[in-house]
Amino acid sequence: MSHLHVRDGISTVQPPLSQAIGYVVVVVIGVIIALVMMLITKVLKKTTGEDNEKTEMFMTANRTVRTGLTASAVISSWLWSTALLGSSFVGYEYGVAGPFWFAAGCSPMIVFFALLGISCKRKIPEAHTSLEVVRIRYGRVAHVVFMILCLVNNIFACANMLLGAAAVITAVTGMHIIAATFLLPVGVTVYTFVGGIKATFLTDYFHTAIIMIIACYFSVKAFSTDQIGSVGDLFDLLQAAAQRHPVSGNQDAFMLLTTPKAILFGILHTLGNFGLVIMDTSYFIKAFSASPAAVVPGYTIGGIAYFAIPWGLGTVMSSVALGLENQPNFPTFPRRMTTAEVGNGLVLPYAAITIAGKGGAAAVLLITFMACTSTLSAQVIGVSSILSFDVYREYFNKKATDRDLIRASHFGVIFFAAFSAGFSTMLHYVGINLGWTLYMLGVVTCPGIFPMIFTILWRRQSKEAAILSPVLGLATGLAVWLGTASRFSGEVTVASTGEVLPCLYGTVASCLSPIIYSVLITVVRPQRYDWDDFKKEKLSLEKLDGDMTTAHHDHAPHGGGVEDWGRAAVDQKELKRWGAIAAFWAAATILGHWVIWPLPMYGSGYVFGKKFYIAWVVVAIIWLWISMLIAIFYPIFDGGIEQIRDVYRGLRGRKVVTEAIPRDGKGDTSTSTSAGSISDTNHVGEKQGNKPE
């Protein structure tokens, strides 16, 4: 890729860890996690009535996941192996600007998604997937179009994760890259097969905790080595690196926030990530799984906390790689990293090995495995929901029972795990790596962004516009992408299509052209949709023994998150209020990350001085540690302690405490488990309005 500082050569770095360690982490630890999750699933069923043989529980956790666990799951959903590896990769290429634009390209769409999530809660509370919303509003043709777009999104997202993770595992252990590619999804398949979305939430929490602890460890370890004693020393090392490897026409490239190539990457990354979020059914599933009062605070807190991970970790570790690349203990010494090594995401592991030896390699191996499997589980459950609800139930068995849908979901889990591994293997053998997929993702993920947003928020988008605009947008994006690659390089190859400018132009065309197509087609064929029509279709799969889903009643689960859920009335007025809050935070996040913060530095051409760089890194590290505390402790205090207590009581044969909750804030009550359980579901067998035994 010509935009990189091309350094040809074959990697001769010997893996610091043995293949046995690689197989232990990928296979043994994966299976252990799966077995533990199976045990937890059985214990929860026995003690709190969370029955994963019920479709509502398997797919939506009875729609009662609380704010703390939602925030942790949101952080985990974006905590891709790509984020850990890619933020260091772009920091190595673009200096301090790289990790900032990587983070700025991740947080705004998470916070914006809170607006879509709460809008779905208000308009179609019984939905399981975003595609059900499309089908009800526009019919089967639109349903199939968006289904294909969502599946393409999931396929490329998984390939992006597996390519980077497998390359790193191979680099640090010597494990065969194809073996790593196929074995990574094994544990994910097992625990998602058994536990469904609740297993995904819980393993998200566990994986995120480990990743955040290790990330914070690296942020401290980097400054406790003999070669780097302080942030100021790291600045001096970067200055020396800039002298050794000057960027043509810009000697201050490592210390400018707004280098041109970094801004281009930021635009490309932001648009591509909007596609990855909005066209990813797993995000909608987690929003549907959250309690109504947990959607907005959960996604907002999670999105803002997430910013520090690519920013803080990427800044520190890329700076370490740049500063210590000429030291004897750097894995590639005496040469620089090759373009292939950088593109495969090896900046982070090489920096970790330099500052922490084999322990650093083991830590990177573990967080890469955790990040990959955690995000894969969300992708797998998302695709299985499409195959079960949107394919099997809609087109093969309208009267599907719980057993039928769970069976279809299980098939979807196994099928997609195997398919994603096979697809990633194909990409590897044609010479595609993490860097290529990181840049081109937006071309295929962006066409459905605005048609999907309009489906949920704009009642005037017509059926024809919804069907045609994403198709035309995808065609436009592909044509621009391939056309500009040919124009700039004279040929269409893997290398030319992986450059920044063709990917940027293609992504912008894929993202923005559907707005024009949709508006024009809507003007020609106008339509005004009645939101109440969403509620005419029954989407719940079964009549639950206990009235456990917020889709069936209009009270908020007791004891939740940032509001006193015991008294809050989750009615249309309340949901509209949450919608206004979500819109405010979405606008504030986008303006903050893209206008208020970086543009003054761009306008002034500000070059980081030593004191400013120190402040920059210190703030990033502090933010990273705060994010760790949120991800680990917020779910515990927001219901975790109470759920552990309920499980303990259940295991000892005692009844789970239940109490009456005002349904409308005026005395009408329904029963629920004691305040604070993570899923906060009613005890199975207790009917709405009945007193507990």
Query: pLDDT, tens digit, for every residue of 524-534?
Result: 988 899 988 88
Q: Which of 662, 664, 656, 645 is nearest to 682 (CA)?
A: 656
Does the pLDDT of residue 465 top 70, yes or no? yes
Q: List the structure tokens of 374.
A: 């955690």
Q: Which of 123-137, 359-373, 395-409 has the highest mean pLDDT?
A: 359-373
CATH classification at residue 332: 1.20.1730
User: Residue 494 domain-assigned?
Assistant: no
Whether the CB-CB separation of 638 and 66 falls below 8 Å is answered with: yes
The pLDDT score that the predictor gives to residue 190 is 72
- Band (103; pLDDT cuts 50, 70, 90): very high
Q: In the chain, what is the straight-line distance between the N-terminal and C-terminal CA atoms, in Å? A: 68
The 10s digit of each residue's pLDDT in 257-310 is 767 788 888 899 999 999 999 998 878 877 777 777 888 998 999 999 999 999
- At residue 399's C-alpha, the angle toward residues 395 and 403, to 5°, is 100
The owner of tokens 């968006």 is 146
CA–CA separation, 649 and 637 (whole Å): 18
The pLDDT score that the predictor gives to residue 617 is 95
User: Residue 523 domain-assigned?
Assistant: no
Does the pLDDT of residue 314 top 50, yes or no? yes
Does the pLDDT of residue 667 top 60, yes or no? no
pTM as predicted: 0.83
Decide which of 610 and 195 is more confident.
610
User: Residue 157 domain-assigned?
Assistant: yes
Average model confidence (pLDDT) across the chain: 81
User: Residue 501 domain-assigned?
Assistant: no
- Band (693; pLDDT cuts 50, 70, 90): very low
Query: Which of 60-64, 182-186, 352-356 has the least mean pLDDT?
Result: 60-64
Q: What burial class does residue 514 get, using C-beta atoms within 10 Å of its C-beta: 0-12 exposed, 13-18 middle, 19+ buried?
A: buried
The owner of tokens 């045609």 is 468
The 10s digit of each residue's pLDDT in 604-623 is 878 888 999 999 999 999 99
Q: Report CA-CA distances (Å) from 333 to 352, 376, 483, 509, 616.
A: 15, 35, 40, 42, 29
Coil, strand or helix: which one is 256? Answer: strand
599: Cβ–Cβ under 8 A, 6 or more apart, which residues?
Answer: none
The pLDDT score that the predictor gives to residue 229 is 87
User: Residue 148 domain-assigned?
Assistant: yes
478: Cβ–Cβ under 8 A, 6 or more apart, which residues?
Answer: 443, 506, 510
Q: List the structure tokens of 181.
A: 């590619």
The pLDDT score that the predictor gives to residue 382 is 80
Whether the CB-CB separation of 192 and 200 falls below 8 Å is answered with: yes
Q: List the structure tokens of 32.
A: 């252990």
User: Residue 638 domain-assigned?
Assistant: yes
The pLDDT score that the predictor gives to residue 547 is 35
Please report, rounded to a whole number, the percentage of residues in the chain having pLDDT higher than 70: 82
Alpha carbon of residue 576 to chain centroid: 26
334 cis-preceded (ω within 30 degrees of 0): yes
Whether the CB-CB separation of 608 and 251 falls below 8 Å is answered with: no
**Type of residue at 220:** V
Q: List the structure tokens of 630.
A: 């949120």
Please report, rounded to a whole number, the percentage of residues in the chain having pLDDT higher than 90: 39
CA–CA separation, 106 and 92 (whole Å): 19
Residue 54, domain extent:
19-459+529-550+568-673
The pLDDT score that the predictor gives to residue 360 is 93
The pLDDT score that the predictor gives to residue 655 is 60
Query: Which of 15-29, 80-94, 556-570 has the least mean pLDDT?
Result: 556-570
User: Residue 108 domain-assigned?
Assistant: yes
Does the pLDDT of residue 643 top 90, yes or no? no
Does the pLDDT of residue 629 top 90, yes or no? yes
The pLDDT score that the predictor gives to residue 280 is 87
Coil, strand or helix: which one is 471? Answer: helix
Q: Report CA-CA distances (Å) from 336 to 154, 261, 325, 347.
A: 35, 21, 7, 11
Taken as a whole, the chain contains a residue count of 693
Across 636-654, average pLDDT:
76
Does the pLDDT of residue 557 top 50, yes or no? no
Q: State the Cα torsion 674-676-681-683 to the nearest 10°.
A: -20
Across 320-333, average pLDDT:
91
User: Residue 559 domain-assigned?
Assistant: no
Query: Which of 96-100, 178-182, 390-394 has the least mean pLDDT?
Result: 390-394
Decide which of 242 and 530 is more confident.
530
- Band (438; pLDDT cuts 50, 70, 90): confident
Q: How many Cβ atoms are within 10 Å of 292's Cβ, its own excluded?
A: 27
Q: Which of 332, 485, 440, 405 is nearest to 59 (CA)?
A: 405
The pLDDT score that the predictor gives to residue 571 is 67
Question: What is the domain count for the chain?
Answer: 1
The 10s digit of each residue's pLDDT in 364-402 is 999 998 888 777 877 887 888 888 888 888 888 888 777
Does the pLDDT of residue 20 top 80, yes or no? yes
Does the pLDDT of residue 545 top 90, yes or no? no
